[in-house]
Amino acid sequence: MREDPASIVPLELAVGLTTLLHQGGVPVTPERAARFAEALPLAPPYGRQQLYWTARVTLVSDRSQLAVFDALFAAVFDGRLDPSDSRGDPTAPPAIGSEPRERPAARDNRPVGGPGDLPEPTPRVASPGAEHADEDGPEREAVLAAASTDERLRETSFADLDPEDVAGMRRLVRRLVLSTPLRRTRRSQPLHHAGERLDMRRTVRAAQRTAGDPAHLVYRRRRRRPRQLVLLCDVSGSMEPYTRVFLSLLQGAVTGAGAEAFVFSTRLTRLTRQLSLRDPDQALTRAGATAPDWAGGTRLADSLHRFLDSYGRRGLARGAVVVILSDGWAQDDPELVSAQMARLRLLAHRIVWVNPRKAARGYAPLVGGMAAALPYCDAFVSGHSLAALEEVVAAVGADDSWHDERKS
């Protein structure tokens, strides 16, 4: 080994840098920090470049973290930040302060109206308990399920729901089961009657029992799996009355059907990871914190473009059922919307458009983005109420004949 830089105390450097990254929001595990410390003597930081790359390769785990990493690295090593609080005793307590960030926020940001502002007492028994409903789950859900048979609530548009009904509605919506049509995979499963292909592995195993004579033939067939489900939800201002419920639909789809969820208004945000948390409230809070453009304008064509470029074309939309929840009121040129929908059409197995405005009397999809997008959709449903969401479920699961492999 050559001399000095190799003898930089790797552990302290690692702990200091990781702590800063942690505070900056890059989740660096202790394992990665240790790996960095291990790598430092191997690739001694003779210059800023080498140190940068060693740190980046070991500490960063996703492209999305690069911006923060670069900024922090520049701040520390180009001297725009005094790293004094990262020096010294690496075990000093105050440094690592990342955990408490999320917990308190989760409750505050609950999207449902607080217990204080009930506009009018409603006849149904369960309503006042809505806010502490998390623990008394089963009972409450039973009541709501019963209530849901009440035609009034079933048919009520999400936009007209009383704030205290929203919580219950969200819980119901979350439990809607979205299941996509099946497609054949490459994997196989055993069949107990004659089928297309012999399962050699199982046949040979069975043959051992009959002195090597393959008397019992085991067949197999291609296993079938549901198609990928992708949900794109418009969260622009015009959709606001509906998004609070639609997000629960997204969440149910992510946790229940392994769907991929995106929201868009002026930009596109992937929410699959945030929505996959067990605790629905926390999941929604995370989601809210991730997408910065809630209730903004709509850039439909642009968002579709982003989706197709970054995810769709790479495989996410191929052979998938794509559900777009949007009113189609977009700022951009209908022709651009049309072009992007055409691209999506080439990839997706089925496109379902959910437009809550469709339910309004006299609505016709004549304007702008909606008119441009419609020719490319396989189904056009309203989804504005619980009853209407059942149409969405049906539209997503439609043509469950896996004979049509033309498209896949």
Partner 1 sequence: MTDDADLDVRLPDAAALTRALDEQDYLTDLGLATALFLAARLRQPLLLEGEPGVGKTEAAKALARVLDTPLFRLQCYEGIDAGEALYEWNYPRQLLGIRLAEAHDTSLEQAELFGPDYLLRRPLLQAIEHPGPRPAVLLLDEIDRADAEFEAYTYELLAESTVTIPELGTIRATHPPVVVLTSNRTRDLHDALKRRCLYHWIDYPSPRQAAEIVRRRVPRSAEPLAVGAADAVARLRSLDMEKPPGIAETIDWVSALTLLGVQRLDADAAAATLGSIVKGRDDLDLVRTRGLSWLAGASHA
Q: Could you list the residues that contact partner 1 (CB under 8 A)?
A: 29, 31-32, 35, 38-39, 42-44, 49-50, 53-54, 56-58, 60-63, 66, 185-187, 200-201, 203-204, 207-208, 211-212, 214, 260, 270, 272-273, 309-311, 313-316, 343
Task: Look at the block and give the residue holding tokens 């439909």.
Answer: 300
Q: Where are the alpha helices (DSSP H) in 272-311?
A: 272-275, 280-290, 300-307
Rounded to whole angstroms, the Cα distance separating 291 from 306 reads 15
CB of 353 to partner 1, least distance (A): 23
CB of 312 to partner 1, least distance (A): 9
CB of 280 to partner 1, least distance (A): 20
Q: Where are the alpha helices (DSSP H) in 184-299?
A: 200-209, 240-257, 272-275, 280-290
Nearest CB to partner 1, comparing residues 53 and 289: 53
CA distances from 76 to 63, 79, 408 (A): 20, 5, 51
CB of 150 to partner 1, least distance (A): 40
Nearest CB to partner 1, comparing residues 32 and 384: 32
Under DSSP, the state recorded for 367 is S
CB neighbours of residue 70 within 10 Å: 13
CB of 278 to partner 1, least distance (A): 15
Rounded to whole angstroms, the Cα distance separating 112 from 8 reads 53
CB of 97 to partner 1, least distance (A): 22
Nearest CB to partner 1, comparing residues 309 and 404: 309
CB of 69 to partner 1, least distance (A): 11
Q: Please answer whether residues 300 and 267 qualify as being in contact, where contact means their C-beta atoms are separated by less than 8 angstroms.
A: no
The strand pair at 268-270 and 260-264 is best described as antiparallel
CB of 31 to partner 1, least distance (A): 6
CB of 309 to partner 1, least distance (A): 8
Nearest CB to partner 1, comparing residues 272 and 331: 272
Task: Look at the block and give the residue holding tokens 């048979």.
Answer: 149
Largest CA distance in the chain: 81
Nearest CB to partner 1, comparing residues 60 and 233: 60
- Return the closest-CA partner of residue 250 out of 108, 392, 152, 64: 392
Nearest CB to partner 1, comparing residues 21 and 173: 21
Rounded to whole angstroms, the Cα distance separating 227 from 258 reads 10
CA distances from 318 to 71, 270, 276, 322, 396 (A): 36, 17, 22, 10, 15
Task: Look at the block and give the residue holding tokens 């009657």.
Answer: 193
Nearest CB to partner 1, comparing residues 26 and 126: 26
Residue 42, both tokens: 């191997």
Nearest CB to partner 1, comparing residues 88 and 315: 315
Nearest CB to partner 1, comparing residues 122 and 210: 210
CB contact burial 295-310 (16+ within 10 A = b; e otherwise) = eeebbbbbbbbbbbee
